[in-house]
Amino acid sequence: MKRPTMADVARHANVSKSTVSQYLNKRYHYMGEETKLRIEKAIQTLGYEANVLARSLKQKKTSTIGVIVANILHVFSTQIIRAIEDVCHEHDFHVIVCNADDDPAKEKKYIQMLRAKQVDGFIVFPTGENKALYEDLLQEDYPLIFIDRLVEGVAVDAFLLDNHAAVQLAVDHFLSKGHERIGIITTSLIHHVTPRVERMDAFGEILKHQAITFGRAYQRGLETRDIKAGLMEMLALEEPPTAILAGNDLALIEILKAVKAYKLRIPEDFALIGIDDIPFAGLFDPPLTTIAQPTFRMGKEAADLLIHKINGVEDLKSSQIHRFPPRLIQRASC
C-alpha cells in the first residue's frame, strides 16, 4: 500500500492540489474555514505526510546541513556535534554527520556526496589537504564554516580555541607548582593540523629558554601508536621532564595507558595536564587536571552563523577567525 500523495488528499477533500499546498504552507490567507477542515480531515484519514524530497527539489533548499568531522574519536568533535544538533533542531534544520577519519580522500567523497544531496551548507573540521575543494565550494557560494582547524589560503569563518592561551594556562600552572622541566606530547604533526601545530609552536615560544637546553627532546608530535614509546624515551632522558602536557585527548589517553602499563605514578613521576576535558577526567586516579574548551559555545555559534548565512541574514563572504578562551580545570594530576 503506497503512501498517499498530495493529489490523493486533494481528491479526497474535493479541492485542487494547489489548495492543499497552500494549506500545508500555512498560506491560509482567505481560505474558507470549511475548506481547511475538509483538507485536514482528508490528511488525517489518509495519513498523508508531505514528501520532503519533492519539496526540496522545487524549492532548491533542503533545510539540511552537512557536518564533516576530521576524526570523530576526539571528544571535542562529539561535543561540538551535539551543540550543532541542538541549534539546528531549534531552527528546524537537519544535520548529516560524516566522519572523514583524517583521510582527505574520504573527506572529499563526503563533501561531494553531501553536495549531491543538496545540503544547504557545511560545517567542517578540515583535514587540510583539500584546499581546491573548499575553494570550489566558496566559488559556488556554498555557505561554509570551519571548526577547530584552518586551511591556509581559504578564507572562511572559523571557530577555534585560543591555542596559545591554552598552552599558556597549562605552562603557568606547571610553573606555579614548581615544575621547570616541562615537556609536551601530541599526536602527529605531519599533516599540519592547526591545533597541534599552534599548541606546539606556542609551547616552544613560551618556553624558549628551556627549548635551548632540551629542544626537540621535550616536544614531540607522534603517531598515536608511538606515543607510549615516546613518553618512555622522554622519561629516560638524563634530565627528564617533571611535567608533561598532553596536546589533546588522544595523546592523553595514550599517556595514561603507559602510566598504567609501566606503573608510573602521577604526579610523583611526572605531573600531567591534558588539553580537552575528557568525560572521565575527574574519575581517574588521580583526577586529571585539564584545559577545557568551551565546546558547546563554539558549536552553537558556528551553527548559528551558518544558518544565518544560509538564510541570507549574514554576509556569505565573511571570513573571520573566532577564537575562544580555554579554561583550566584543576584537579589532582598537577
Q: Which does 24 bind (CB under 5 to 8 A by kind): a copy of itself, DNA, none?
A: DNA
Nearer to a copy of itself, 29 or 263 (CB): 263
Q: Are 35 and 25 in contact (CB under 8 A)?
A: no
Q: Which does 47 bind (CB under 5 to 8 A by kind): a copy of itself, DNA, none?
A: a copy of itself
Q: Which does 21 bind (CB under 5 to 8 A by kind): DNA, a copy of itself, none?
A: DNA
Q: For residues 66 and 123, what is the distance between their CA atoms, to the nearest angstrom?
A: 6
Q: How far is the CB of 231 from DNA (least distance, A)?
A: 53
Nearer to DNA, 25 or 45 (CB): 25
Q: How far is the CB of 191 from DNA (least distance, A)?
A: 34
Nearer to a copy of itself, 89 or 237 (CB): 89
Q: In the numeric block, which cell numbers belong to residue 263?
A: 606503573
Q: How far is the CB of 230 from a copy of itself (least distance, A)?
A: 18
Nearer to a copy of itself, 154 or 169 (CB): 154
| Contact residues for DNA, defined by CB under 7 A | 2-3, 5-7, 14-19, 21-22, 24-25, 29-32, 34-35, 50-51, 54-55, 57-60
Among all chains, which residue has been given the C-alpha cell 498530495?
6
Q: How far is the CB of 139 from DNA (least distance, A)?
A: 18
Q: How far is the CB of 54 from a copy of itself (least distance, A)?
A: 6
Q: For residues 63 and 236, what is the distance between their CA atoms, to the nearest angstrom?
A: 56
Q: Which does 287 bind (CB under 5 to 8 A by kind): DNA, a copy of itself, none?
A: a copy of itself
Q: In the numeric block, which cell numbers belong to residue 266?
A: 602521577
User: For residue 118, is it left (φ>0), alpha (ψ between -120 and 50) or beta?
Assistant: left
Q: How far is the CB of 155 from a copy of itself (least distance, A)?
A: 18
229: part of which helix (H) or strand (E)?
helix 227-235
* Per-residue exposure over 69-90, b if at least 16 CB sit within 10 Å of its own CB, e if not: bbbebbbbbebbbebbbebbee
Nearer to DNA, 57 or 232 (CB): 57
**Three-state DSSP class for residue 257:** helix
Q: For residues 144 and 66, what is the distance between their CA atoms, to the nearest angstrom?
A: 10
124 phi/psi in degrees, rounded to 5: -130, 145
